[in-house]
Structure 1
């Protein structure tokens, strides 16, 4: 099931797709808070909160995406098409930040 199409770049965010890495959203934070991956690898962003809705997004001139609202238990896989340093934020909880290093 297609969850979200990336606004720019060539990557897709897909529900149920396989990912090389996983981060969770719980307690108004990402865990882990920083992650490294290689260009082309997938990152699963999972809402493991029992009650909170999250909304992960990334705005960067080279690559951006927006998961939309993620209800508890949902997962979105994002593929990073090129190297760079990125910060994923939550549109609902502004203090949530995930540093992503792509080589």
Structure 2
């Protein structure tokens, strides 16, 4: 799903990903370099903490409370894995063209 979303007072166009039931939904995306992925904590009672670690790009959201939205812009091409620091089985594969 793509569209314009309001993220912490800043307008950002991005791909929407849900964190629910200890899973990213969808579990994989293909985007273009410079596009934004907006990740929403849709769990009513779970904290999440997303991060990306690679030689080309890294990101750490800090703790994400239920209902929060985090926008991540991917400035480099390549394959990236977004993980949850609290729930290690949660994985989102992002291919950036």
TM-score, length of structure 1 as denominator length: 0.83
Q: CA contact under 8 A between 1:19 and 1:77: conserved in structure 2?
A: no
Aligned-residue CA RMSD in angstroms? 1.1
Question: Which of these residues, 75, 79, 82, is aligned with residue 88 of structure 1?
Answer: 82
Aligned to 2:51, what secondary structure does the other structure show?
strand
Separation (CA, whole Å) in 1 of partners of 2:16 and 2:9: 12
Moved over 6 A (4+): none
Separation (CA, whole Å) in 2 of partners of 1:68 and 1:59: 14
Q: How does 1:60-71 map to 2 (within 5 A)?
A: 60-71=54-65
Q: How does 1:1-103 map to 2 (within 5 A)?
A: 15-17=8-10, 18-103=12-97
1 or 2, which has the higher strand percentage? 2
Aligned residues: 90
Separation (CA, whole Å) in 2 of partners of 1:79 and 1:51: 26
Gaps of 5+ in 2: 1-6
Kindly tell me: are residues 33 and 44 of structure 1, through their superposed partners in 2, closer, same or farther at Cα, counting changes over 3 Å?
same
